[in-house]
Structure 1
Amino acid sequence: MSRSIVAERYATGLFKAAQEQGVLLAVHTDVRELQAALNDNNDFEQLMSLPQLSLIKKRELIGNILPGAQQLLVNALYVMLDADRMDEINNVLEDFHQLANNASGVAEATVYAIRPLTEQEETAISSAFAHKVGMQSLQIKTIIEPQLIGGIRLQIGNRIFDSSISNKLAKLERTLIG
């Protein structure tokens, strides 16, 4: 979760409302799409911070940018806009994403490997490690790191599982050197 209490409150409110209305998966999908769009382009945040634009124009922008989004998400953004909290949008979306993942038993994991993983390898890693962090599955993002030589390094939250050859060689070197 973010360190912003404000973002945490907005995210929790959106999460509870989505759960109560039975649209958690749909809102979560829209949140991920909005996160990706905001990561690719920060013009939206700049527009929302312009004092020259009226609240009405900013509301129109939100409606135009998210035409097919769940109304619950759009309404949450309107509430944030009215409260002058749009500077917290990234934190709110990230906190909501974490809440939704936790509720569905999914953890995000980063796999460092020497090559892209196949779908079968991702599935095997997910089933082997998800239970170690108390989750049902892992949502895996792969980062290519040729310096690992072989094997993988897996990071789930603040836990790291390292079975790379470079790590094993480093351990061997420390053992031999003393």
Structure 2
Amino acid sequence: MSETIIAKRYATALFQLGQEQSNIDQIETELRTLRDIFQNNKELEKFLKHPRLSTSQKKELLNNSLKGFSKETFNTLMLLVDRHREEIILDMVDHFILKTNDLKGIADATVYSVSPLSDKEKQRISEKFAPKMGKKSLNLTNVVESSILGGIRLRVGNRIFDGSVRGKLNRMERELVSPNNR
């Protein structure tokens, strides 16, 4: 069975448990924090995957690191360690966040711009593009990328809206060199 399917099953189980306990928002916050910890500390992931470390050592590290996490989140992580599924933790987190976003009518998106966007600009982009995605709003992450020259490029899931100067120049170039224009 693929790791993605297994991660989805754990995420679904944790999501259902969160709904039953009415603490989905708390679990989501904890999982976002966990994802940030994993992304900022690559050594943690290596530690949890290390074959010479015992399950109890891995659990002890998580126990000491995740004080204050809900019992649902904590027990799910302990179960993953017990079953030697540490490699799917981040996938499980991502699937859980997708489920909560769907429940709330929200989508995570990345907007690329030449300079940092203000909160007001992010809000206007969210209001403009959320209905196109069938969502109430977008959680925008702004990435500054000077290579786009101007405008913005928005990525929501696997859809890209390219209103950047670089994108327009690339489209013009394709039109000029395409065999249909000769």
TM over 0.5: yes
Q: Identity over the aligned pairs, expressed in percent?
A: 38
**What letter is aligned with 1:49?**
K
Question: Residue in 2 aligned with 1:150?
Answer: 150
Question: Residue in 1 aligned with 2:11?
Answer: 11
- The verdict on how the C-alpha distance between 1:50 and 1:145 changes in structure 2, with shifts beyond 3 A counting, is closer
Shift of 1:49: 3.2
Shift of 1:80: 1.2
Instruction: Find out whether 1:117 has 2:117 as its counterpart.
Output: yes
* Inter-partner Cα distance in structure 1 for 2:61 and 2:3: 28
Question: Residue in 2 aligned with 1:63?
Answer: 63
Question: Residue in 2 aligned with 1:31?
Answer: 31
- The verdict on how the C-alpha distance between 1:67 and 1:166 changes in structure 2, with shifts beyond 3 A counting, is same
Question: Residue in 2 aligned with 1:40?
Answer: 40
Instruction: Kindly provide the CA deviation profile for residues 32-66 of structure 1, in whole angstroms up to 9, marking residues without a partner as x.
Output: 00000011113333333344443333322221110
What is the TM-score normalised by the length of structure 1?
A: 0.89
Question: Residue in 2 aligned with 1:79?
Answer: 79
**What letter is aligned with 1:42?**
K
Question: Residue in 1 aligned with 2:89?
Answer: 89
Aligned-residue CA RMSD (Å): 2.0
Unaligned runs of 5+ in 1: none
* Inter-partner Cα distance in structure 1 for 2:50 and 2:169: 54
2:3 and 2:88 in contact (8 A); partners too: no
Unaligned runs of 5+ in 2: none
Question: Residue in 2 aligned with 1:104?
Answer: 104
What is the TM-score normalised by the length of structure 2?
A: 0.88
Question: Residue in 2 aligned with 1:138?
Answer: 138
**What letter is aligned with 2:129?**
F
